[in-house]
Amino acid sequence: MVKKHLFPQDNLFTETTELNRRLGLTEAFSIVISRIIGSGIFRTPAPIMLLVGAVSLYYGVWIIGGIATLLGAFLYAELVAMMPKSGGPYAYLKAAYPPVWTFLRGWAMFFVSETASIAAVALVFAEYGNSLYALFHNGQHYSHLWEVAIALGVIWFMTAINCFGMFLSGVVQNIFGFLKLVAIGAVISVGFSKAGNAANFTTPFWPEEFNWSTLLAIGAAMRYGFFAYSGWEGPTYIAEEIRNPKRNLPLAMLAGIAGVMLLYLAANTAYLYQLSVPEIQQSKWVATEAMQAAIGATGGLMIAIAVMLNTFGNVSTQVLVKARTWYAMAKDGLFFGALAKIHPKYKTPNNALLAQGFWATVLLIGAGFAESAYEAIIDFFSFTSTIFNIMTFASVWILRRKYPDAPRSYSAWGYPFTLIIVLLIQVWFLITTLLTAFVPSLLGVLLTSTGLLYYYKDEIVRFVRKK
């Protein structure tokens, strides 16, 4: 049964929890790195360049995405320092808005955005595995059916790993967080190890004309740019399992985002040094081709392994952190009650993990056979996610008025200008996403709206019986 009452506010600002606080600053930072650096920096350069078609706008998308993400993190830092609760944005929406909006955000996260993101990154792991396979089989690739099957295997393997306690999960995060930094560093180093073509940075530098269509193209490209930066809020989903969350969470997010932005700009510069604009536009595996251009087949082999390490670790992190939202919702009576159960030995929300794996499987099978499956999955959830992102950022303003005396160990830097800038960017992105991906956006909204049938099911049943 869905609870319609207002949530109790007496424990919103405490650090009390029935979960184990086993993770420290290192693990929180590793989660930020692992959640951000996944498939995006290796897979999205091509669709971004295809949309904008000019070097200046290409860099603009990555810079705007990084700055907007960093500004958003300043706002999140205030929220998580005030309310160190598991569930990420769900916890903040719960405190700021009526229960129905909180429920819809969680419903959309489960059925539309968050599980779809797991499926998308797992698919990229399988795609780069295909490129690795081709290097050893004279350019022959295995079928797309095998790509989908391998992606499913990754999802369920990492789901199983995360069912055996936070200690094992924390070790996995530290290992893959370190490997991701090594992999990106290697890509950048190799990209500049052989003389490329400096003319790629200026041909073309500006678009032929700048008009409304150009703005739409930039907005559409931001869909993939924001996806590449997504996940920076990952540690907030497991706030109740991190030691000293009021200090460690803001610090991990801000340091992680700043570092990743610099790495992304350096990696894209390495790509452009080796590949021309048309070559990037036509490439499915930009990183692989850039490394092959630099050092031949060895570069292709190295980058395929690096991407697979990154995406494998990213899936692990997503599976870990997102299941805590379904657990938090179920505990509040806003989701299927069985998902609120904690494993008696490992203290992990295993039912939530299994349900998450099941729905990620459904989405992967449903979208995995589209012509451009990766882009299709991102288009599907971008609009809906942006609506709730706007609500989450706006909750900083709402909660300052609703709970003016709440303990705030950190106040958002540059407020209210930070909030205004973030909201303007998000609204612009929302509009352009709707205009450039109308049908996928509509599908995401419709699937989110089905949550209202679940939320008001008791009222609907009573109404039908009266008729």
pLDDT at 369 over 70: no
The answer to whether residue 4 sits within a structural domain is: no
Q: Which residues have C-beta within 8 Å of that of residue 55, sequence separation ≥ 6?
A: 200, 201, 202, 203, 204, 205, 272, 277
The answer to whether residue 33 sits within a structural domain is: yes
Rounded to an integer, what distance in angstroms lies between the CA atom of residue 283 and that of residue 281? Answer: 6
Instruction: Provide the pLDDT for residue 401.
Output: 93
pLDDT at 3 over 60: no
Work out the mean pLDDT of the chain and round it to a whole number: 83
Q: Which residue has the higher pLDDT, 251 or 7?
A: 251
The answer to whether residue 372 sits within a structural domain is: yes
Rounded to an integer, what distance in angstroms lies between the CA atom of residue 324 and that of residue 238? Answer: 6
The pLDDT tens digits for 283-310 are 877 877 888 888 877 777 877 787 788 7
pLDDT at 116 over 70: yes
Residues 123 and 364 sit within 8 Å (Cβ to Cβ) = yes
The answer to whether residue 1 sits within a structural domain is: no
Q: How far is CA 433 from the centre of its chain?
A: 17
The pLDDT tens digits for 380-415 are 778 888 998 999 999 999 999 998 888 877 888 889
Instruction: Provide the pLDDT for residue 105.
Output: 84
The answer to whether residue 5 sits within a structural domain is: no
Mean pLDDT of 110-134: 84
Q: Which residue has the higher pLDDT, 165 or 67?
A: 67
Q: Which residues have C-beta within 8 Å of that of residue 51, sequence separation ≥ 6?
A: 217, 218, 220, 221
pLDDT at 236 over 50: yes
Q: State the virtual CA torsion across 239, 240, 246, 248 in degrees, nearest 10.
A: -60
Residues 240 and 19 sit within 8 Å (Cβ to Cβ) = yes
pLDDT at 10 over 60: no
The answer to whether residue 17 sits within a structural domain is: no
Instruction: Provide the pLDDT for residue 455.
Output: 86
Least confident range of 91-100, 134-143, 332-341: 134-143
Q: Which residue has the higher pLDDT, 139 or 422?
A: 422
Q: Which residue has the higher pLDDT, 275 or 372?
A: 275
CATH number, domain of 253, equals 1.20.1740.10
Mean pLDDT of 148-159: 92
Instruction: Provide the pLDDT for residue 44.
Output: 86
Range of the domain at 291: 25-466
Instruction: Provide the pLDDT for residue 1.
Output: 47
The pLDDT tens digits for 192-229 are 877 778 888 988 999 888 888 888 889 889 988 988 89
* 5 confidence band (pLDDT: 50, 70, 90): very low
Name the domain count of the chain: 1
The answer to whether residue 216 sits within a structural domain is: yes
**Got the DSSP string for 54-84?**
SHHHHHHHHHHHHHHHHHHHHHHHHHHHH--
The answer to whether residue 231 sits within a structural domain is: yes
